[in-house]
Amino acid sequence: MEIPWFAWIAFAGIAVWGTTVIIGAVRGTSKDEGLQKALEDNAATNRALLAKLETIDTRLGVVEKTLTDIQ
């Protein structure tokens, strides 16, 4: 039984994917580490934005009080 030429493409893809997974396992790297780092960076950015929004809200409250006092 002869294997068609296009089936070799699938076999090569499986071999490359398997090799990549094995090398990643040996090196101890995974996509989860990168995802965890990205989530931590995102959380830090969100905390900084929240702090900035709170200061803006405080200043807006002062301006509203001043305008109410003027009327």
Q: What is the mean pLDDT of residues 30-57?
A: 90
Q: Give the pLDDT of residue 29.
A: 62
Distance, in Å, from the CA atom of 21 to the CA atom of 9, rounded to the nearest integer, reads 18
Residue type, 1: M
| pLDDT more than 90, % of the chain | 58
Model pTM score: 0.49
Q: Give the pLDDT of residue 66.
A: 93
Q: How far is CA 38 from CA 7, 30, 31, 61, in A?
A: 38, 13, 11, 34
Tens digit of each residue's pLDDT (9 = 90 or more) over 6-30: 888 999 999 999 998 888 788 776 6
DSSP 3: P
Question: For residue 54, is pLDDT > 70?
Answer: yes
